[in-house]
């Protein structure tokens, strides 16, 4: 990778990273977030609509960065990179897939951190499970997405 390619990779990755944060947390609807992991077509459609709006957010971010920085991004790289990112995002956001993968590689305990399923889950003063925003499942989900954002940026920049 030449120095200009490395700069394109960095710019593309930052654009994807920012768009991921916005699309995954601000653009995603409450319905999508609650239902995307459900069994059947209701869950599949909620997840697909989330991934579609997330990908559109990334396209808009890449278009903006490309215009402002005068980047020359090839359409085949964009299609393959964003397609790979979308497919892997959908796979993880169906939830049962990521949970099964975590179990397969010995990460079930970490996946359950912050939930009532974890052996040392947080509790309230009366001993009932305490709600928490930080869960192992969330961290594994986001790190999975970051891995694929990096791969997508590499494909797009190359």
pLDDT in tens, 133-151: 578 889 999 999 999 999 9
Secondary structure (3-state) at 123: strand
User: Tell me, what's the pLDDT at 51?
Assistant: 98
Measuring CA to CA, which residue among 45, 56, 139, 54 is closest to residue 89?
Answer: 54
Cβ neighbourhood burial of 106 (10 Å; 0-12, 13-18, 19+) = exposed
If DSSP codes are grouped into helix, strand and coil, which group holds residue 105? Answer: coil
Residue 83, pLDDT score: 98
- State residue 126's pLDDT score: 80
User: In this structure, which long-range contacts are made by residues 119-123, counting pairs with CB atoms below 8 Å and at least 24 apart in sequence?
Assistant: none
155, 77 contact by CB (below 8 A): yes
Q: How many CB atoms lie within 10 A of CB 109?
A: 14
Residue 152: what are its φ and ψ, rounded to 5°? -60, -45
Percent of the chain exceeding pLDDT 90 equals: 78
Residues of the chain with pLDDT under 70: 1-2, 114-123, 129-133
What CA–CA distances, in Å, run from 81 to 16, 36, 94, 126? 11, 23, 20, 49
């Amino acid at each position: 990778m030449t120095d200009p390619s490395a700069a394109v990779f960095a710019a593309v990755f930052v654009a994807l990273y920012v768009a991921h944060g916005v699309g995954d947390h601000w653009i995603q609807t409450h319905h999508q977030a609650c239902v995307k992991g459900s069994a059947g077509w209701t869950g599949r459609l909620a997840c697909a609509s989330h991934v579609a709006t997330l990908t559109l957010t990334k396209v808009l971010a890449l278009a903006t960065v490309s215009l402002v920085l005068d980047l020359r991004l090839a359409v085949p790289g964009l299609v393959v990179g964003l397609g790979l990112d979308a497919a892997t995002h959908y796979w993880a956001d169906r939830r049962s897939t990521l949970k099964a993968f975590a179990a397969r590689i010995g990460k079930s305990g970490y996946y359950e951190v912050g939930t009532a399923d974890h052996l040392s889950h947080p509790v309230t003063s009366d001993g009932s499970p305490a709600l928490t925003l930080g869960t192992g499942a969330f961290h594994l989900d986001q790190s999975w997405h970051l891995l694929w954002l990096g791969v997508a940026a590499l494909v797009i920049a190359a």
